[in-house]
Structure 1
């Protein structure tokens, strides 16, 4: 019986998260209410609050759980979360390895875009989400910097800035590019993005 109850609780939580991200994207974070999310999940606001103290906490869960899972990010003692493969790719620094990683991650963009879209919209109106999103991006920047530090590549004083450039560029492209957008198809986009990454953080 306990196992069934736990499964039902997990399903309700999943429905709330699914409904939340769908409404944040379709209706907008600011315009979506707790009642909207609860109704879409087929439950009540009382049940919502049993799982999440607020809409902000639900948004935090979407970032910390759904986004991190989609990007293979795992808990890290150094900086919140880490993507071990990204660190290894940057440490290697070869054009081939960078291109392969960018190609693999780009295949996930459609799946993660609802979460990043919702997160950035929420950050625009809620300082708590803004701070969380900034921390999350800093964790990815930290991965790139860790890779550069392990490789001993580039002057130490430039490594953080190079990491900021690489992740800021990747984040913008991941959130906005679609086939043909900006005049490039997928392979061309990956070629140019790879060229930029090799120039800023890779081995030349």
Structure 2
């Protein structure tokens, strides 16, 4: 029995390693080659396995993107499962509820330190969404979860007219998503601290608590 248990754990570890290799290979290829031109065979070969093995783990490359977003990107962003919607970032909700310029600026600064790590995932998602309606829907739902976090914070604070809170949340997340995907040092003629200052000013104006 101990031997059987050890073998079962070994098989489980091997399966997890193969799945990880497939996800790693998929992300690398989606970034370097593009989602539209990357095939299942490309991913399997890059992972050192076969097409048959790929399909034992994922029904399609769409499912690879789903796993990259739901598992890895959410982990990077500290998003946790939510009963109300797919995921939530509790700290973001708390920051928006507080609404102070200082706390918003601090949260944006902390988040910006992860932009390099999350960019491959968000870039892949947007590229895939442009050619695959299923990913488009998935990306919209994922962004709606972040929008919902801001809306929750505004609702808790009872800040701004209720009829404008959702739209304000859309503006804030759309702005953040674009900047996070596009930002490079000194791009747009501003250094990192200046960029964060301006971004924070915009967030305070649209969703924050004014002094």
Q: What is the TM-score with the length of structure 2 in the denominator?
A: 0.96
Which residue of the other structure, out of 99, 102, 105, is the alignment partner of 1:99? 105
| Cα RMSD for the two superposed structures | 0.5
Q: Deviations over 1:105-151 (max 9, x none)?
A: 00000000001111100000000000000000000000000000000
Alpha-carbon distance in structure 1 between the residues aligned to 2:106 and 2:12: 40
Q: Does 1:115 align with 2:112?
A: no
Alpha-carbon distance in structure 2 between the residues aligned to 1:182 and 1:194: 16
Structure index of larger Rg: 2
Unaligned runs of 5+ in 2: 1-6
Q: How many residues align?
A: 204
Alpha-carbon distance in structure 1 between the residues aligned to 2:83 and 2:145: 11
Alpha-carbon distance in structure 1 between the residues aligned to 2:98 and 2:86: 23
Which residue of the other structure, out of 170, 176, 198, is the alignment partner of 1:170? 176
Which residue of the other structure, out of 37, 58, 65, is the alignment partner of 1:31? 37
Q: Deviations over 1:63-118 (max 9, x none)?
A: 11111011001111111110000000000000111011000000000000001111
Partner of residue 148, structure 2: 142
Following TM superposition, the consecutive aligned residue runs of length 4 or more in structure 1 with deviations greater than 3 angstroms are: none
Q: What is the TM-score with the length of structure 1 in the denominator?
A: 0.99
Q: Deviations over 1:14-34 (max 9, x none)?
A: 100000010001000010000
